[in-house]
Amino acid sequence: MQLSQRIIIARQQKGYTQEELATLAKLSIRTIQRIESGESVPRGFTLKAIAAALNLPAEQFLTDPNEQLMQVPPEADNGTAHFLQLFNLSCFSFIVIPWVHVLIPGYLLKKQKDLNRKEVEWCRKIIRQQVIWVICLHLVMLLALGYNLLQGYVFHNRQHASYLWPFFIMYMINTGIIFLNLFSIRKEYNRLDLSN
């Protein structure tokens, strides 16, 4: 009997729907559907989560009793790697709309339903970095404004600092952050490809 069939039988014996199992296992409904249809084989974490939700030992689902649960290699999903790269590159929208550009990656994350917990955390980390960048940009611009006000009103100096330099530097820093994230994603998924 295949693993997907074992999971279906165990779920039906407990009287759970796919939605209920997904909620209990803290997985997406799409993940449960793919596992039960045989489209994908659950990794160690996913199998443990499903087994815990069904109150069954994870070893019951293994096809070979001698097989170790932790030896299931993580699969490198090219679709997920592609999504994560596009998600990260969507942060370049800061060039056009610098103060609300985090809404675009947020929308993409909300729209993409079949990500595992690690990938969702990765996306949230990218969004957090962009929010922090926006806050830092505002602080740097306020510091430049404060410096100019101090020079003009306190020291009566007519030379003011340009707002373009801090703005340009912050843009270059954010570009570097986005490229570092892109290289990290590629490195992680290339490592997974090589391990398979």
Give the Cα separation of 112 and 128 in Å (integer): 18
Per-residue b or e along 60-90, where b marks 16 or more CB atoms closer than 10 Å to that residue's CB: ebbeeeeeebeebeeebbeebbebbeebbeb
Return the top range by mean pLDDT from 86-90, 170-174, 186-190, 192-196.
170-174
Instruction: Considering only residues 52 and 2, tell me which one the structure prediction assigns the higher pLDDT.
Output: 52
Give the Cα separation of 25 and 47 in Å (integer): 9
What's the CATH architecture for 3-71? Orthogonal Bundle (1.10)
* pLDDT at position 165 over 90: yes
Give the Cα separation of 144 and 161 in Å (integer): 7
* Cα 16 versus chain centre, distance: 29
- Dihedral over Cα of 185, 116, 37, 65: its sign: positive
Whether 20 and 13 have beta carbons less than 8 Å apart is answered as no
In the chain, residues under CATH classification 1.10.260.40 are: 3-71
Provide the pLDDT for residue 78: 66
What are 96-123's pLDDT values in tens digits?
887 789 999 999 999 887 888 888 899 9
What are 15-69's pLDDT values in tens digits?
999 999 999 988 888 888 888 888 888 878 888 889 889 988 888 777 554 444 4
Provide the pLDDT for residue 68: 42
- Both tokens of 127, joined, read 């969004």
Give the Cα separation of 31 and 20 in Å (integer): 13
Whether 46 and 28 have beta carbons less than 8 Å apart is answered as no
* pLDDT at position 70 over 50: no
Residue ranges of alpha helices (H) inside 42-163 are 44-53, 78-89, 103-111, 117-149
Mean pLDDT computed over 80-101? 88
Instruction: Considering only residues 2 and 63, tell me which one the structure prediction assigns the higher pLDDT.
Output: 2
Provide the pLDDT for residue 60: 78
Whether 148 and 160 have beta carbons less than 8 Å apart is answered as yes
What are 131-164's pLDDT values in tens digits?
999 999 999 999 999 999 999 988 888 888 899 9
